[in-house]
Every structure is written in structure tokens, then in C-alpha cells.
Amino acid sequence: MAHLALIFVFLCVGIVLRASGRMPAETTKVLGGWVINVALPATALQAVHGISVDRAWILAAASPWVGALIAFAAFMALGRACGWDRRRVGGLTLVAGWGNTSFVGLPMIAAFAGGSWLGLGLVIDLFGSYLALSTLGLAVAMWASGGRLSPGTILRRVATFPPFLAIVVALAVNDLERAAWLTALIDGLAATMTPLALAAVGFALRLDRLGGRVGAVTAALAFRLVAAPAVLLALYHLATGAGLGAGEIEVRNVAVLEMAMPPMLGATIIALEHDLEPDLVALVIGIGIPLSLATASLWWQLLTVL
């Protein structure tokens, strides 16, 4: 679980950099720009290579899409009830609708379910979280930031969104051999995603600005860490009934565990890039990551007795 300890280190680096005054105010956007245009595409290229998909995993791979769609509907309704503007609704949808199914999720799978299930985690992360973020997540950010939402505009933005392009390219060359130097280059660029994304969040994190945002933070974390996995578990039972075999139960458990992860770094960076209430977004992920370590453990204990 060394990866989880590094999360706090990288967050603290961002906090210290902001407190030191040694970095400009635009640091979050600069780091975020690197993550979206370089690190996220490299991560997609890295994850897709050589991956194979078991047909039994299709429902699990679709779960991040389900979570994102439910989050948008839920926060649209909550936004109308609370009088929130588009930026808050969009920011909360992004941080509550997408879970960190890679840097936090994969170590959690290894710790609870075992390393043999990491392949399923990668499929959920790539074809669920990343693909949904590159399409649906980008559309939510455009809508929330006041951008024009004509079908042509959305298609252009999606088609030119670097992480989406990387997924398309990765799938097209999935079975081709890679030169050692190219693999090393992609791995090196992908390795920058987590430290830079977390440093960007840490730089934007201001716990002194929690006042007036407690309700919104609580709503986002309640959805991300409690409601989303509960809904997915219920959908699994509705879709499959009581006839799950041992292997299918493990697939369900891994999918629900991934749904219980804290906010996704990529989704958070997109929210920050589009100026969707950065203080609120940073608070949700800054509080959500440590809190998820406890809630995910509780979810796994529940899943193992169901």
C-alpha cells in the first residue's frame, strides 16, 4: 500500500508549494495542462497495450458510465433545489461522478481482492473511467463552463481531446510490438500523472475556505463514497438476480469496490481547468482521499458477506 502513502506526500508537496509563495498563482492550471495534454494520454497508451477483455467483465466496465450519468442527474436535481449555478453542479458532477479507479483503485484491488484481479481493474479504469471522462466528462465541463453545446462543437472537442485520441491510437496498435525505447518513454510520461495531478490539487486545496461549502462537500462525498457503490450493488442484483457464481461474485465485488473510490484525479483536473469552483473541487478530493481508505474497507467487509 505504498502507493496510498505517496498520495499524501504529493498532496502535501502542492500545499507546501502554495504556502511557500515560490510558485505563481497559475501553478494549478500549468500542472493541470501537463496532466491533460501529456500524462493522461501517456497513461492510456500504457494501460491499453496488450490488454484483453473477458466478456464477463462488460457490466463491470460499464459501471463508471452508470455512476457518471447518475451523478449528473442527482446534482442537477440537487442544484435546482439548492439554487446552485452551473459551475458548482458541473464541478460536483465531475468529482463525485468519477472515481479514482487507477492510482487508488488498483492498490485497493490488490490489497482486498488479490493481484489476479488487477486486469479487471484496468478494464474498468480504461474503458469505463477514462473513456467516459474523455467524452461525457468533457461535455459536462463544457456545459458547466458556459461553452456552446452544439453536437458539432462537442464532437470536435471530444475528437481533439488528447486522452481520447490516445485511447483510439492505443486500441488501433494494441497488438503491435513496441520498441523498448518507446515503452520507456511512454512509461516515463505516464509516471508524471499522479504526482503532478495531486500537487495541482494540493496547490488549490484551501481548508480555510471550507466555510459555506460544507453542504456541497458532504453531498459530493456522500454520493462518491456511499451512494454510488450502493446503487451499483443494487443494479447488479437487479440485473443478475441471485444466480451469481463464485467468479461472478468476485467481478461484482471488484466493480463495487472501484465505484467506492475517491474522486478521480483526471476529472478533478478537468474541473480545475474549466474553473468549476476550484476551491470546492479541491476540498472534495483533498478530504475524500483519506476518508475513502476507511469507507472502502467497510464496503469490502460488506461485500464479502453478501
Structural domain boundaries of the chain? Answer: 53-176+208-303
Residues 8-33 have a mean pLDDT of: 89
What is the reported pTM? 0.85
pLDDT band at 241 (very low <50, low <70, confident <90, very high): low
Task: Please state, in angstroms and as integers, the Cα–Cα distance from residue 150 to each residue in 19, 48, 88, 158, 296, following that order.
Answer: 41, 31, 22, 12, 39
Report the C-alpha gap between 134 and 22 in whole angstroms. 33
Q: Check pLDDT > 90 for residue 79.
A: yes
The Cα-based distances of 239 to 25, 69, 99, 223, 277 in angstroms read 49, 18, 22, 22, 37
Regarding predicted confidence, which is higher, 271 or 193?
Answer: 271
Distance (Å, rounded) from C-alpha 183 to C-alpha 177?
10
Percent of the chain residues topping a pLDDT of 70: 95
Q: What is the pLDDT of residue 242?
A: 56
Distance of alpha carbon 260 from alpha carbon 80, whole angstroms: 26
Q: How confident is the model at residue 247 (pLDDT cuts 50, 70, 90)?
A: low
